[in-house]
């Protein structure tokens, strides 16, 4: 039977390669013992040169074959090695693989030794001078080197299932206008199509196909046929087998109820199961048409973000748990329904999680703006084929990107990439990301990076201004990004503008009935080359920082979902933060029905969801426009009309400054002095009393988010009197399984009310003991009041690990986190 054995531990690594290193033991004493995922260079946080990971390095692993492997077919698989791997086995070259983003394998059945250790060596070239995508010009992201995804051995019978592709034909089960939130799970009879390839001696073989539902809720909570394993069919096997069956009602995979099924194939010979393979998939239909995107018949506006697969210090080298965590953050914290894997295929663990949680995926082959020579293009086609064959069973993937991101037209090349995609996967449409409108289009969907929004005017271009063919679907694949780089330690106005720009584009796209949706650039900041970014080798384009801490713009996304209550205010309410003490616009980011605002515990105003100017979004930010409330009517002896006029003037002065007071307001002022006999000092005192100002008495603002009549979240903004460290740990349970495990710890300096302190830049010192160790430096500064660190498990070092965090400047501010390390895959399956 099929068996997977991971080869992630006990590799020897050298920063350079010598020919003799393909021999066992050569240079052992100078080589470092490492585990996979591995990076060829641990990088600083910023200000580093990409040359530190551009090298030819050597990985060597010695392992013994078990006697039980005899007679089996033995396949060696690399899930990801960046960027060109020459693989040697027992002194001989097995082959070369020239893409850092897809997996590859070699059949080592005839080369394996049973009489002594086997020697596996990888000569890894991670130089950007390679003539393969994405190299050849400049690239706006670092392309870290290393064997950074799992290495494994797959054992099967010599006659085995080589490949299986499952896709479905599902009728439209929802109405076009059904709302994403309210839709109930649906079940419907569908078609399941399978292409199965068998290798070896197929004479007398039979294939058995089973179906089993593994997640999702059946309508009405009923049990369905496929909740248990059900035999679908039995057929005699050929080398290539095409099947199509009609099913009894099955639960459809959707963003709200991502029902997954296992398609299990058994290869039977002489009544013995000689191989079996399981493909996890979903029943769903996903189509881009002229007026938008339809999932299972329902029109769904795609609201997504672009993701790179990089992390501070270790580049691409993070295990499954961190990939899974990114998918969770996208869905739960950022509330998006889609992600674009820019600009290369990303970890299977990440995509598996997208399948599991219902996050739609735009998947594309590697490349960035540049198209190389014929050899380069051939490699691009190989990359494309590998991408489609390796990822085509994932229900979350709704479109293939088959153009080099933002490259020029190349008709012959792109005719070919589209043909390849349609041939290998008849079930999905193609896109190809373009930087200009009206380009040649062999793809099914016009996918375009719309950077037209520069802060004013329209949030996006019209479809007809961009596409040459109105009959095809149209999707915005990037917006914002370099148009407004923003650091978490930028001033408040800048961070707010960044957030509002994201809102404006989202709102504009939501308002265009024929745009399928959009992907913001991008999920988090990333290290980049000298040609881009802020000079420190970081593109500050994220709605989160590199550690996945939220910038203000993250709330603009997070508030679009309804599962978690969101309440955030764009201001700390400190007027000294703003030029001339002018507050300008203050926005409430919430998904609540309404927000009540109090000043020093006095009710001022209830803001309703409908008050937002962003009418196309379900939840749009709401502008704070009243600091006075009913106080003037209650406290002062003004007529109703006069109180209204004074309130208006006070609110204008509070948000926009005296300079913005109009003629009407000056008349009001004159009336106060004449009719109401107030002195100038009285007027100033009144301003201090109701608005509060420079040097005035500290004000406490309270905001209550209300849903279904209940306060669901409260936020208080007042003078900071205490600083605490808040930590968000991805998981305190870690697993030593196929390799080491990692937990992310996001750290924030917060005040007594839990508000992040954006200018708190002190250092945190971290110390570990027991079963965990730190990734990266031991002392880290907070940036924008936030930081992050990663701990990884240590092999065979017990089951308890402790992380001690302490603020360098104040011994009092500290925190301990305890981790339990267990054996097994745990959640990482």
What stretch of H or E contains 693? none
User: Least distance from C-beta 339 to ligand GAL, angstroms?
Assistant: 14
* Burial class of 277 by CB neighbour count within 10 A (0 to 12, 13 to 18, 19+): middle
User: Least distance from C-beta 320 to ligand GAL, angstroms?
Assistant: 25
Beta strands in 327-443 (DSSP E): 338-341, 360-364, 397-401, 429-431, 433-434
The rounded distance, in Å, linking the Cα atoms of 117 and 203 is 35
Indicate whether 478 belongs to the interface with ligand GAL (CB under 6 A): yes
What stretch of H or E contains 354? helix 348-357
Identify residues 324-343 at the interface with ligand GAL (CB under 6 A): 342
Q: Which of 478, 492, 512, 704 is catalytic?
A: 478
Which residues have C-beta within 8 Å of that of residue 217, sequence separation ≥ 6?
A: 185, 251, 257, 259
Indicate whether 449 belongs to the interface with ligand GAL (CB under 6 A): yes
Among 200, 167, 194, smallest CA distance to 275 is for 200
Nearer to ligand GAL, 478 or 512 (CB): 478
Nearer to ligand GAL, 406 or 568 (CB): 406
Nearer to ligand GAL, 156 or 486 (CB): 486
CB atoms within 10 A of CB 66: 11
| Site pattern 711..730 for ligand GAL (x: CB under 6 A) | --------------------
| Site pattern 541..570 for ligand GAL (x: CB under 6 A) | x-----------------------------
Indicate whether 309 belongs to the interface with ligand GAL (CB under 6 A): no
User: Least distance from C-beta 786 to ligand GAL, angstroms?
Assistant: 22
Indicate whether 521 belongs to the interface with ligand GAL (CB under 6 A): yes
Indicate whether 827 belongs to the interface with ligand GAL (CB under 6 A): no
The rounded distance, in Å, linking the Cα atoms of 691 and 626 is 10
Report angle CA 568, 570, 575 to the nearest 5 degrees.
130
CB atoms within 10 A of CB 779: 10
Indicate whether 450 belongs to the interface with ligand GAL (CB under 6 A): no
Q: Which of 406, 443, 512, 568 is catalytic?
A: 406
User: Least distance from C-beta 367 to ligand GAL, angstroms?
Assistant: 10
| Site pattern 372..411 for ligand GAL (x: CB under 6 A) | ---------------------------------xx-----
Q: Is residue 473 a contact partner of residue 446, using CB atoms and an 8 Å limit?
A: yes
Indicate whether 482 belongs to the interface with ligand GAL (CB under 6 A): yes
The rounded distance, in Å, linking the Cα atoms of 599 and 697 is 12
The rounded distance, in Å, linking the Cα atoms of 357 and 349 is 12
Catalytic residue status for 406: yes
Size of the site for ligand GAL (CB under 6 A): 10
Contact stretch for ligand GAL (CB under 6 A) within 311-319, 396-404, 414-422, 475-483 = 475-483
CB atoms within 10 A of CB 423: 10
User: Least distance from C-beta 308 to ligand GAL, angstroms?
Assistant: 8
Contact stretch for ligand GAL (CB under 6 A) within 123-131, 436-444, 474-482, 660-668 = 474-482
Chain length of the chain = 829
The token duo for 759 is: 């200018």
- Please list the helix, strand and coil fractions of the chain in percent, rounded to the nearest 5, in that order: 20, 35, 45
Handedness of CA 388, 394, 400, 404 (dihedral sign): negative
Catalytic residue status for 154: no
Nearer to ligand GAL, 299 or 502 (CB): 502
Residue in the shown chain whose Cβ atom is closest to ligand GAL: 481
Binding test (CB under 6 A) with ligand GAL, winner from 481, 518, 520, 629: 481
Nearer to ligand GAL, 413 or 451 (CB): 451
Q: How would you list the strands of the sheet with 151-156, edge to edge?
A: 3-6, 151-156, 73-78, 104-107
For the annotated catalytic residues, the residue numbers are 406, 478
Which residues in this chain contact ligand GAL in the complex, by CB under 6 A?
A: 140, 342, 405-406, 449, 478, 481-482, 521, 541
């Amino acid at each position: 039977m099929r068996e997977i054995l991971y080869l992630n531990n006990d590799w020897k690594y050298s920063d350079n390669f010598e020919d003799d290193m393909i021999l066992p033991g050569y240079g052992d004493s100078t080589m470092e013992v490492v585990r996979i995922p591995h990076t060829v260079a641990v990088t600083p946080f910023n200000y580093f040169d990409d040359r530190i990971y551009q090298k030819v390095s050597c990985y060597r692993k010695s392992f013994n074959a078990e006697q039980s492997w005899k007679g089996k077919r033995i396949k060696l698989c690399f899930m990801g090695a960046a960027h060109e791997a020459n693989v040697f086995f027992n002194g001989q070259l097995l082959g070369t693989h020239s893409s850092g983003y897809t997996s590859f394998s070699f059949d080592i059945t005839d080369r394996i030794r049973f009489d002594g250790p086997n020697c596996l060596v990888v000569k890894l070239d991670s130089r950007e001078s390679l003539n393969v995508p994405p190299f050849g010009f400049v690239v706006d992201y670092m392309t870290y080197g290393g064997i950074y995804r799992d290495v494994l051995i797959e054992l099967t019978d010599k006659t085995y299932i080589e490949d299986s592709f499952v896709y479905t034909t599902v009728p439209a089960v929802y109405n076009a206008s059904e709302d994403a939130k309210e839709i109930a799970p649906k079940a419907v009879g569908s078609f399941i199509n399978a292409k199965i390839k068998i290798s070896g001696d197929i004479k007398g073989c039979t294939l058995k196909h089973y179906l089993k539902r593994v997640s999702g809720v059946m309508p009405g909570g009923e049990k369905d046929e496929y909740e248990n394993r059900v035999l679908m069919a039995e057929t005699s096997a050929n080398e290539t087998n095409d099947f199509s069956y009609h099913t009894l009602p099955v639960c459809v995979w959707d963003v709200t109820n991502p029902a997954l099924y296992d398609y299990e194939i058994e290869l039977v010979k002489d009544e013995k199961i000689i191989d079996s393979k399981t493909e996890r998939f979903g029943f769903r239909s996903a189509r881009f048409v002229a007026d938008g995107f339809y999932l299972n018949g329902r029109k769904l506006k795609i609201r997504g973000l672009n993701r790179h697969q990089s992390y501070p210090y270790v580049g691409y080298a993070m295990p499954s748990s961190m990939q899974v965590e990114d998918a969770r953050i996208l869905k739960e914290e950022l509330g998006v329904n889609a992600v674009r894997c820019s600009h290369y295929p990303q970890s299977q663990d990440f995509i598996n999680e997208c399948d599991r949680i219902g996050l739609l995926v735009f998947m594309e082959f590697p490349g960035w703006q540049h198209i190389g020579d014929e050899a380069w293009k051939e490699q691009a086609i190989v990359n494309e084929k590998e991408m489609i064959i390796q990822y085509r069973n994932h229900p979350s993937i709704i479109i293939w990107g088959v153009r080099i991101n933002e490259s020029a037209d190349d008709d012959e090349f792109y005719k070919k990439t589209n043909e390849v995609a349609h041939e290998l996967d008849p079930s999905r449409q193609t896109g190809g990301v373009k930087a200009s409108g009206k380009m040649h289009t062999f793809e099914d969907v016009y996918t375009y990076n719309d950077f037209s929004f520069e802060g004013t005017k329209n949030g996006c271009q019209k479809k007809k201004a961009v596409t040459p063919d109105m009959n095809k679907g149209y999707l915005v694949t990037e917006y914002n990004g370099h148009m407004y780089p923003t650091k978490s330690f930028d001033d408040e106005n800048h961070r707010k503008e960044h957030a509002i720009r994201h809102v404006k584009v989202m709102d504009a796209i939501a308002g265009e009935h024929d745009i399928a949706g959009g992907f913001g650039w991008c999920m988090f900041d990333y290290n980049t080359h000298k040609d881009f970014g802020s000079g420190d080798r970081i593109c500050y384009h994220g709605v989160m920082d590199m550690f996945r801490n939220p910038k203000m713009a993250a709330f603009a996304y997070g508030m679009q979902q309804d599962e978690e209550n969101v309440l955030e205010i764009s201001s700390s309410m400190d007027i000294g933060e703003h030029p001339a003490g002018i507050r300008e616009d203050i926005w409430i980011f919430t998904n609540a029905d309404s927000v009540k605002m109090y000043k020093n515990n006095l009710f001022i105003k209830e803001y309703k969801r409908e008050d937002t100017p962003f009418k196309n979004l379900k939840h749009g930010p709401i502008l704070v426009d009243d600091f006075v409330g009913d106080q003037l009517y209650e406290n002062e002896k003004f007529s109703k009309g006069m109180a209204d006029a004074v309130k208006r003037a006070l609110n204008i002065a509070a948000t926009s400054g005296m300079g913005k007071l109009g003629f009407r307001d000056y008349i009001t002022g004159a009336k106060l002095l004449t009719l109401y006999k107030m002195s100038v000092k009285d007027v100033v005192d009144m301003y201090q009393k109701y608005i509060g100002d420079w040097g005035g008495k500290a004000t406490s603002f309270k905001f209550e988010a209300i849903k279904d009549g209940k306060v669901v979240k409260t936020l208080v903004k007042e003078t900071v009197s205490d600083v605490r460290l808040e930590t968000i740990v991805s998981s305190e349970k870690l697993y030593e399984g196929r390799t080491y495990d990692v937990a992310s710890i996001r750290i924030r300096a917060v005040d007594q009310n839990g508000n992040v302190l954006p200018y708190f830049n002190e250092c945190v010192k971290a110390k570990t003991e027991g079963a965990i160790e730190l990734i990266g430096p031991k002392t880290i500064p907070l940036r924008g009041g936030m930081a992050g660190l990663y701990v990884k498990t240590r092999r065979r070092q017990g089951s308890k690990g402790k992380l001690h965090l302490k603020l360098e400047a104040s011994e009092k501010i500290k925190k301990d986190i305890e981790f339990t390390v267990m054996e097994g895959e745990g959640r990482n399956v």
